[in-house]
Amino acid sequence: MSIVSKLPARAGIGFKPAHFRDILAAPQPLGFFEVHAENYMGAGGPPHAQLGALRERYALSVHGVGLSIGSMEPLDRDHLMRLKMLCERYAPASFSEHLAWSSHNDVYLNDLLPLPYTQLTLARVAEHIDEVQTALGRQMLLENPSTYIRFSESTMAEVDFLTELSKRTGCGLLLDINNVFVSAKNHGTQPLTYLQSFPFDQVKEIHLGGHDEEVDDVGAPLLIDTHGSPIADAVWTLYSHVVARAGARPTLIEWDNDVPDWPTLLAEAATAQDILSDASRASAA
Partner 1 sequence: MPAPFETSFADALLDANRPIPCGITAHNATVPARRFAVYRNNVAVGLVKALRSRFPAVEKIVGEEFFAAMARVFVTERPPRSPLLANYGDDFPAFCAAFEPARELPYLADVARLEAARTRAYHAADASPVGAERFATLDSHAIGDIRVIMHPSTGIVRSPYPIVTIWAMNSGEQKLAHVENWRGEDALVSRPYLEVEVRALPPAGAAFLLALTAGWPLGKAAEAALADDPNFDLTGNLAGLIGSGLVRDIVHPEPKKYWQS
Residues that bind partner 1 (CB under 8 A): 38-39, 41-49, 65-68, 71-73, 76, 79, 101-111, 113, 115-116, 120-121, 124, 148-153, 186-189, 214-218, 220, 222, 224
Q: Which is nearer to partner 1, 43 or 285 (CB)?
A: 43
Of residues 29 and 46, the one with the C-beta less far from partner 1: 46
Smallest gap from Cβ 65 to partner 1, in A, equals 7
* Cβ 68 to partner 1 shortest distance, Å: 8
Cβ distance 182 to 143 under 8 Å?
no
SS3 82: helix
What's the closest the beta carbon of residue 263 comes to partner 1, in angstroms? 25
Sign of CA dihedral 67, 68, 70, 72: negative
Instruction: State the Cα–Cα distance between residues 139 and 132, nearest whole angstrom.
Output: 9
C-beta closer to partner 1: residue 65 or 269: 65
Q: What's the rounded Cα separation, in Å, for the pair 163 and 132?
A: 18
Nearer to partner 1, 15 or 32 (CB): 15
CB 211, min distance to partner 1, A: 12
Residue 239's H or E segment, with its range, is helix 233-246
Nearest approach in angstroms of CB 212 to partner 1 is 10
Nearest CB to partner 1, comparing residues 67 and 248: 67
Which residue lies nearer to partner 1 by CB, 185 or 207? Answer: 185
| Cα–Cα dist 124/6, whole Å | 27
For partner 1, the closer of residues 68 and 202 by Cβ is: 68
Closest CA to 11 of 26, 36, 30: 30
CB contact set of 111 (below 8 Å; sequence gap of 6+): 102
**Helix, coil or strand: residue 105:** coil
Closest distance between partner 1 and the C-beta of residue 220, in Å?
Answer: 6
Note whether 94 and 105 are within 8 A (CB).
Answer: no
Between CA 267 and CA 28 the distance in angstroms is 12
CA triple 224-139-198, angle to 5 deg: 50
Please say which residue, 25 or 149, places its beta carbon nearer to partner 1.
Answer: 149
Cβ 53 to partner 1, closest distance in Å?
Answer: 11
Q: CA–CA separation, 114 vs 157, rounded Å? A: 13
User: What is the DSSP secondary structure assignment for residue 153, as one 8-state letter?
Assistant: T
The H or E element containing residue 4 is none
Min separation Cβ 76 and partner 1, Å: 8
